[in-house]
A = this chain, B = another copy of it.
């Protein structure tokens, strides 16, 4: 599980469409920096800057072999962010379920069914 400032960095990294595009590309497999840059309408230095934000967040890691830097997804950071959101969503849904049960029971008490 990530701590607060790690979660800050992961969600901040995901708050930009170019960076989400890079994560989307890397989810399909490793890519070089030029491959990541290719579909993006921006300069290579801008791509590298986005990549640095992704690496600082722990969502991506990269490795340089010779002159080529290859980037990969780090699934654990992705999973942690998903888990954080999922737990809040689940907590909200449980509350809604309890509310539904409460309302159904109140209704049953208020008007006892005629049959049986």
Q: How far is the CB of A23 from chain B (nearest CB, A)?
A: 6
Shortest 6 CB-CB contacts between residues of A and residues of B: A11-B15, A12-B15, A11-B14, A27-B88, A27-B91, A82-B85
Instruction: Tell me the A26-42 residues at the B interface (CB within 8 Å).
Output: 26-29
A86 CB within 8 Å of chain B: yes
Q: What residues of B have a CB within 8 angstroms of the CB of A17 in the complex? A: 4-5, 7-8
Range of interface residues on A (Cβ < 8 Å)? 20 to 34
Q: How far is the CA of A78 from the CA of B88 in the complex (A)?
A: 8
A100 CB within 8 Å of chain B: no
Q: How far is the CB of A60 from chain B (nearest CB, A)?
A: 11
- Which residue of B is nearest A98, CB measured? B29
- Which residue of B is nearest A85, CB measured? B82
- Which residue of B is nearest A59, CB measured? B88
Could you pull out 6 A-B pairs where Cβ atoms are within 8 angstroms?
Answer: A8-B15, A11-B14, A12-B12, A24-B91, A27-B92, A85-B85
Q: How far is the CB of A35 from chain B (nearest CB, A)?
A: 15
Q: How far is the CB of A90 from chain B (nearest CB, A)?
A: 8
* Contact B91 A85, beta carbon cutoff 8 Å: no
